[in-house]
Structure 1
Amino acid sequence: MKNKKIILHCGSPKTGSTSLQYYLYDEGLLLRKLDVLVVKRLVQKNSTDPIFKHLLDSRKPNAPKSATTEARSRIETLFESEDISTLLISYESILGEPFEYGNPAFFPKARQAVRALKDIFDGYDIQIHYVTRDYTSFIGSYYVQHIRRGGDCSLKDFVRAIDPDSLSWIRIVNLLRNTFGAENVHVHEYRDFLSNPGRITAAILGGLIPEDRVSGKIGGYRKNRSVGGFPLYLTRISNRILVKGLSLPPQTAGRITRQRVLKPLSRFIPGDKPRIETAMSEFLAKRYHEDMQILSGQ
């Protein structure tokens, strides 16, 4: 019987996950020859594996035990039906969203999600790879995501709704390390992924594919481009009209304005990215530097 290993790339949103996933999907046949199955998600319509729904259901408040049972059953099915020894799951939102409307805490559902993951992955040889990003650009990038989803607040109001004292990659990483063992949780920085995606991706794959082979391909997978302040401003105003004026759900409004406002405007009016106020930006930079020093020394 093969030793069943799981590689979990779980974080976090806005840290190059989409680029990594597209690379992994394109190299699926090669990895399959190396006894690794990449579980597909959001490549094209109706191609998402059921495991992601089970993982999402398991972290919901008062989730029934059947959610964990279904997740474990799907994992076993993948191992047995594909006859592989390693399952690679890449899901950047597995610990929940970093910011939620009406809740100032950073990753408010993380503890509950990790508790669910412990039950789902119990008994498997698991290696977890978590990618962090400096708080300033992370918040700015996630703010753009908020607008894409139909949000209409300004960056200043978005930042004001966050509890700065709760911003801590240390808390998130330690939740994973205390649950799965420090030796099984590996932390990578987004800036390192940007500067050398081949090295980080090769590390996540455990060296199965040489770094130079990865580097030659992954640089062309960037799917989410930067958006300037003016297109964002017009998009959030459009969202407000659709949501508050026409009573459309935010997600519906976001889909409309992404296609009809944000994408065409960004093509012709890139503009400057919206910037967090200097004092807050300096505070966030100092916090991130200190946090990463602590994490690297643990």
Structure 2
Amino acid sequence: MVFSHERLSGYPASGGYDSSKLIRSMQEIFPAGRILIVIREQVSLIQSMYSQIITDGGSCSLKGFLNPPEPKFVRVPQFNLKFYEFDRIIKYCQNLFGVENTLVLPYELIQENYQNFLDEIGFFTHSSNWLTIKRTQEMPSNVPMNTKKTVLLQSFNRVLNGCFYRNQLSNSAMFEFQVIPKLIRRIDPLTRALTPKFL
């Protein structure tokens, strides 16, 4: 049985404030469980997380996202650079589940050597199913996992969110037009056509 969800380690945009609580809950439910942690190079991860915040309805600038106001008060969950110190969560999992039951793999290995990524999981779980996957099923190394949003689209999205899409991430917007995400998806092809290839 496998349970997988990025939320299990905490939500990056809110600083993973409940990471330890979630991990403790997993250990209480599955005391003999094994943990796979996939980590990513921090700069690219933060860039991706900011882009996702905009997609989800956020309207703050990158500077505002990285430097939330009054961080020492922590009145609400917010960005926290400590979340990206992966050694902390790795050690926490190792203490709860055991070093031998905790595997850490880099996200980049999925594209660099997909078969090795699967093999590592197979050895860790003692599962023959992972090891029988043929190399013909490897993911092409030059194909991104997700289609990256253009700078033009995200800039337009951020303005619309801040003015017309009131939600948890943009609660000061004047209106609450739920059609904004649908509109953004419709103009995505246009922004790709207008965006230079090097951006």
The one-letter code of the counterpart of 2:189 is P
For 1:24-173, list aligned pairs within 5 A. Answer: 87-100=1-14, 106-122=15-31, 124=32, 126-161=33-68, 162-165=79-82, 167-173=84-90
* 1:242 paired to 2:164: yes
* Secondary structure class of the residue paired with 1:245: coil
Quote the sequence identity (%).
23
**In the aligned structure 2, how far is the partner of 1:97 from the partner of 1:187?**
19
Q: Within 5 Å, which residues of 2 pair with 1:243-262?
A: 243=165, 244-248=173-177, 252=178, 255-261=181-187
Tell me the alpha carbon deviations over residues 206-244 of structure 1, each in whole angstroms, 9 at most, x when there is no partner: 362337615634349855212222211011112222221
The question of whether the paired residues in 1 share the 8 Å contact of 2:39 and 2:86 is answered with yes
- Unaligned runs of 5+ residues in structure 2 are 69-78, 166-172
- Say whether 1:232 aligns with 2:141: no
Distance 1:184 1:146, change over 3 A: same
8 Å Cα contact 1:143/1:155 also seen in 2: yes
* Unaligned segments of structure 1, at least 5 residues: 1-86, 101-105, 274-298
- Is 1:177 aligned with 2:83? no
Supply the distance in 2 between the matched residues of 1:199 and 1:112 (Cα, whole angstroms).
32
TM norm structure 1 = 0.52
- Residue 139 of structure 2 corresponds to 218
Q: Indicate if the aligned counterparts of 1:132 and 1:188 stay in contact, CA closer than 8 A.
A: yes
Shift of 1:194: 2.0
Moved segments of 4+, more than 4 Å: 220-223, 270-273
Contact 1:96 1:108 in 2 (8 A): yes
AA in 1 matched with 2:18: K
Aligned alpha-carbon RMSD (Å): 2.6
C-alpha displacement of 1:253: 5.7
